[in-house]
Amino acid sequence: MNRLHAELQRLYRLDATASGPAPDKADEPVHAMVLTLSRPADWAALSAVWQSVQSELGLPAPAIAVSGFDGYQLWFSLAQPQPAAQAMGFLEALRLRYLPEVAHDRVGLSVSRLTVPAQQTEPDRWSAFVAPDLAPVFADTPWLDIPPNPDGQAELLARLHSIKPADWQHALTALQPLQKTEPDVAPSSNTRSPRGFLLSVMNDEALDLSLRIQAAQALLPYVS
């Protein structure tokens, strides 16, 4: 196992040698969450999320990546796996709080079928993890022109830490009030409360079946 592979395993339980997205595992919670802002890449907006999850929520810094196409990504690592539906709810709450003015279709929320950075997306275009001070350089071209150096990628990841269970629960609590009071949702639908959000995930036929199963399992405390 090389150093980059070891760091991807430590943080995200992902395989650096995989040629495509990690497969869905319906019976397993997730270790990784990815928030993407694209069309266009806007580091000014996403950097506000990167800074706020640390200063306001007390979470460790997520990794920053360029997608290789048209966006930036924040990669969050969980020290202990969490239900996929809960992880999706967390990302959605981040979107609502820190990117409320950004069009919904520009923000990607992913907890399954993740594609590891350092993959070639097009000729002379590579995705990669990037350092915070270099992230603004890629605003017009969110990719590398050459394959990223594996040791350099590993060094960036080695500085990062996973979200501990206590910090995870604290962040969920801090974000929950906003989920219950989102102004653009009718009060009767209650789709942004924890229960309402899980119901929307469970009933959304466009989502992967694994996520809908996780949402159904997470709903059990609400119906007991």
**Local confidence band at 69 (pLDDT 50, 70, 90 cut-offs):** very high
pLDDT reading at 12 higher than 50 = yes
**Local confidence band at 15 (pLDDT 50, 70, 90 cut-offs):** confident
**Local confidence band at 21 (pLDDT 50, 70, 90 cut-offs):** low
Higher pLDDT, 213 or 154: 154
Tens-digit pLDDT profile for residues 71-103: 999 999 999 999 999 999 999 999 999 999 999
Which three-class secondary structure state does DSSP give residue 119? coil
Q: DSSP string covering 26-86, please?
A: TTS-EEEEEEEEESS--HHHHHHHHHHHHHTT-PPPPEEEE-SSSEEEEEEEEEEEE-HHH
Omega prior to 62 cis, within 30 of 0:
no
pLDDT reading at 48 higher than 80 = yes
HSE (CB half, 13 Å, CA atoms) of 79? 12
Check: CB of residue 33 under 8 Å from CB of residue 76.
yes
Identify the top-confidence range among 21-35, 122-136, 208-222: 122-136
Q: What CA–CA distances, in Å, run from 81 to 32, 84, 99, 189, 214?
A: 8, 9, 26, 30, 12
